[in-house]
């Protein structure tokens, strides 16, 4: 019957909210985008590359659109927010998931060149900052929320490389500082996963075995584990300035 409510529709937590998830053409970002979609949100899928994959994900959502933008480019970040507002007319949630790394043994100082540091920080820190600043006015209008996807590498001396770990530590602290100055209109939190099973980590067998043996939960995370916490932080209107680990308890043992 026309106008009849679909069973369960009223319980969808983010009905008609607009959510931008950077780096969402696969892995954690894709899981976050799909989780918001399942809860009624209108979702902007984004990637710097992987255009076909991003477009396919957006097409599969109930109300999704794909915009290509490399957030390391400040002009592209500004355009990404403008395109989101032009298409949906508002922005309620920004999930800064896009990230970059390079696997370099921590002892290998020479290969962790300044070029590597700049490349990683351009996305993980500078790009995230620029995009958040560009989105602030739109988020403020909706009493919005920012969730940064960081890493336990920003909390412990671990991670795929020292530049990567340092970038995530910077992002964790940025989260706290932004929460302090953007409240009460905008809440800012972070999710810090341990090892997550994604296409990027599929060959990390040794690391996975270590996590399975050391972590109390005896497994590595799934992208959905991270997505669930992202939605929880977005939904709770009183939590801000928190960096929540999603690591199966690994940091309790390391």
Active site residues: 164
What are 203's strand-pairing partners?
A: none
- Give the C-alpha separation, 233 to 229, whole Å: 6
- Give the C-alpha separation, 179 to 207, whole Å: 33
Q: Evaluate whether 218 touches 212 at the Cβ level (below 8 Å).
A: yes
Kindly state the tokens that stand for 234: 């977005």
Name the residue among 127, 147, 166, 167 with its Cα closest to residue 241. 147
Kindly state the tokens that stand for 159: 């991670």
Provide the Cα torsion 135, 136, 140, 146; round to 10°: 80
Q: 197-236 as b/e, with b when 16 or more CB fall inside 10 Å? A: bbeebeebeeebeebeeebeeeebbebebbbbbbbebbee
Kindly state the tokens that stand for 100: 């970059």
HSE value, Cβ hemisphere, 13 Å, CA-based, for 206: 1
């Amino acid at each position: 019957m026309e106008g009849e409510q679909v069973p369960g529709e009223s319980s969808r937590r983010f009905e008609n909210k607009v959510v931008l998830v950077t780096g969402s053409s696969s892995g954690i970002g894709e899981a976050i985008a799909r989780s918001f979609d399942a809860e009624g949100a209108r979702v902007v899928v984004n990637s710097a590359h992987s255009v076909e994959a991003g477009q396919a994900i957006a097409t599969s959502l109930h109300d999704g659109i794909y915009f290509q933008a490399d957030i390391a480019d400040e002009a592209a970040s500004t355009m990404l927010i403008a395109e989101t507002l032009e298409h949906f007319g508002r922005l309620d949630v920004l999930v800064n998931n896009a990230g970059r790394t390079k696997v370099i043994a921590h002892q290998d100082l020479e290969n962790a060149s300044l070029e590597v540091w700049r490349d990683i920080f351009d996305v993980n820190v500078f790009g995230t900052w620029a995009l958040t600043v560009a989105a602030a006015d739109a988020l403020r209008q909706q009493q919005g929320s920012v969730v940064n996807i960081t890493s336990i590498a920003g909390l412990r001396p671990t991670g795929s490389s020292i530049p990567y770990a340092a970038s995530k530590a910077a992002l964790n602290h940025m989260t706290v500082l932004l929460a302090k100055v953007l409240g009460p209109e905008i809440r800012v939190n972070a999710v810090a996963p341990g090892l997550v099973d994604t296409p990027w980590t599929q060959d990390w067998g040794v690391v996975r075995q270590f996590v399975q043996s050391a972590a109390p939960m005896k497994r590595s995370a799934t992208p959905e584990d991270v997505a669930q916490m992202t939605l929880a932080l977005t939904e709770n209107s009183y939590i801000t300035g928190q960096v929540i680990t999603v690591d199966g308890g690994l940091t309790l043992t390391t």
